[in-house]
Chains A and B, each alone.
Chain A
Amino acid sequence: MNEPIPEPAIQFRQVSYRFDGGTELLDNLDLDVRSGETLILLGKSGSGKTTTLKLINHLLVPTRGEIRVQGRSTRQWDPIRLRRSIGYAIQDVGLFPHFTVERNIGLVPEIEAWPQPRIRQRVEELMQLVGLDRQLAPRYPRELSGGQRQRVGVARALAADPPILLMDEPFGALDPVTRAQLQREFQALQQRLKKTVVFVTHDLREALLLGTRIALMENGRLIVTLTPEEFLHSKEPAVRLYIDAFGANGTGFS
């Protein structure tokens, strides 16, 4: 008896995107994101990583091609429903400055009209999950440290327990020590939650640490999709270039 092959959570089929009359930001992208994996979109600024991410939750509409999320084209999804079933975490600037930590985390449950007690319970659960002190609930984002804000961002993305998580350099604005700590915690969290994660970063070390697979992008094109192990040993010039730029010592791998 054959194991049924699970359908990819997200599929890109010959997707191109260009800004009104501008240059092609994304060129003929074919990519599958498997259920439960952490796919890293790696590349320099302007390589098309964030564009790719925003196409998934329909913040951008492809110029050509199709993106299927859980088997259904993003054009067929009601964009509001689609987005509420996808967690979205961006750098700490995405937190609402006029909302307390509690309201920031409970945002999606709130707009989904969960009853108050259930929201409160869920927020408490999530704060514990991401390692935030309960005392911080009534604080505002500006009263938190960078690391705490990132935790709020991750908790907020997880609030309605979405099967898919999009993360756009969520640990980008952190000092190296806090960053390493949050990466480890994220890794542990992901082992428990088994979400489908698409994670944008330009940091090779982060990609190697967190990724199930790494998709290297350059100038709006997908160069290769490889596991971290394959990535390190790849002969592909673009991959070598990226690894050399970081320096073997810098990565801690050789």
Chain B
Amino acid sequence: MNVLEFIAQNHIEVLELTVQHLWLVTVSIFLAVLIGIPLGILITRHPVLSKPILGGANIIQTIPSLALFGFLLPAPWIGARADRLAILALTLYALLPLIRNTSTGIAGVDRAVVEAGRGMGMTDRQLLLRVELPLALSVIIAGIRVAAVISVGLATIAAAIGAGGLGEYIFRGLAMVNNQVILAGAIPAALLAILADQVLGWLERRLTR
């Protein structure tokens, strides 16, 4: 039996796991955007905070994903459900590219443009919302793209703690020593990653002309 036959026969389960996978990634990227972009802005305003915040996000990146899932297991509320735990871990991993791209995007805005705005009497808030963020947008979205593609891959490991997603097939296939089953998880996951990249790329072009 080849992969396509396997997927065709189990298409309902494949679809369910794909939706679950997409859910884990979408929620965690959403949360990471909500936390990461303000943190990225914060460190451009208070450079003293840059080291600890970027350092912290960096350290999180260095923790092997399986270990991070394990560490978080005893946490109250979060540890009670596998999907919460997976979302928290994926959010933490997605923070670094978001914080870094937001701050480098803003730092990369032409100083002359910002100074012209300030010189004409724009407030800090107006400068941020009308000049700095719009001009940094493509770099910020590039960060979201990176984070999303990484998350799709990492989310397969969430199956190890029972959070579901396409990783189910990968772990099941590993246990059964069955490559077809592994591929039934890996191929849709790869397609999801490509899809996420394309959709965000399209969004980037739309928003930045």
State the majority secondary structure of interface residues on B: helix
B120 touches A108 (CB 8 A): yes
Closest CB of chain B to A114's CB: distance in Å?
14
State the majority secondary structure of interface residues on A: helix
A94 touches B135 (CB 8 A): no
In the assembled complex, which residues on chain A have CB atoms less than 8 Å from the CB atom of B117?
Answer: 96, 107
Q: What is the number of contacts between chain A and chain B, taking CB atoms within 8 Å?
A: 56
In the assembled complex, which residues on chain B have CB atoms less than 8 Å from the CB atom of A90?
Answer: 112, 115-116, 119
Q: Spot the interface stretch: A78-86, A118-126, A232-240.
A: A78-86
B135 touches A59 (CB 8 A): no
B121 touches A97 (CB 8 A): no
Q: Is A98 an interface residue (CB 8 A)?
A: yes
Which of B112, B119, B134 has the most C-beta atoms of chain A within 10 angstroms of its own C-beta? Answer: B119
In the assembled complex, which residues on chain B have CB atoms less than 8 Å from the CB atom of A57?
Answer: 119
B135 touches A95 (CB 8 A): no
Tally of contact residues, B, Cβ under 8 A? 16
Q: Is B113 an interface residue (CB 8 A)?
A: yes
Mark B113-135 against chain A: 1 for CB-CB distance below 8 A, else 0.
10111111111001000010011
Q: Is A193 an interface residue (CB 8 A)?
A: no
Mark A43-76 against chain B: 1 for CB-CB distance below 8 A, else 0.
0000000000010010100000000000000000
Mark A98-126 against chain B: 1 for CB-CB distance below 8 A, else 0.
10000000011001000000000000000
Cα A191 to Cα B120 in complex, Å, equals 24
Which of B116, B123, B134 is A88 in contact with, Cβ under 8 Å? B116
Cα A82 to Cα B119 in complex, Å, equals 9
A88 touches B131 (CB 8 A): no
B120 touches A83 (CB 8 A): yes
A91 touches B121 (CB 8 A): no
A93 touches B121 (CB 8 A): no
**Chain A: interface size category:** 20 to 34
With A96-B131, A97-B135, A98-B135 as contacts: A107 and B113 at CB distance below 8 Å: no
In the assembled complex, which residues on chain A have CB atoms less than 8 Å from the CB atom of B115?
Answer: 59, 90, 94
Which of B120, B131, B135 is A84 in contact with, Cβ under 8 Å? B120
A95 touches B121 (CB 8 A): no
Mark B191-204 against chain A: 1 for CB-CB distance below 8 A, else 0.
00000000000000
In the assembled complex, which residues on chain B have CB atoms less than 8 Å from the CB atom of A156?
Answer: 120
Cα A57 to Cα B131 in complex, Å, equals 20
A88 touches B113 (CB 8 A): no
Cα A157 to Cα B116 in complex, Å, equals 10
Cα A94 to Cα B120 in complex, Å, equals 11
Closest to B123 in A: A80
Residues of B within 8 A of A (CB): 110, 112-113, 115-123, 126, 131, 134-135
Residues of A within 8 A of B (CB): 54, 57, 59, 79-84, 88, 90-91, 93-98, 107-108, 111, 156-157, 166
Across the A-B interface, the 10 shortest Cβ-Cβ residue pairs: A94-B116, A84-B121, A83-B121, A88-B119, A93-B112, A80-B121, A98-B134, A88-B120, A94-B112, A108-B120
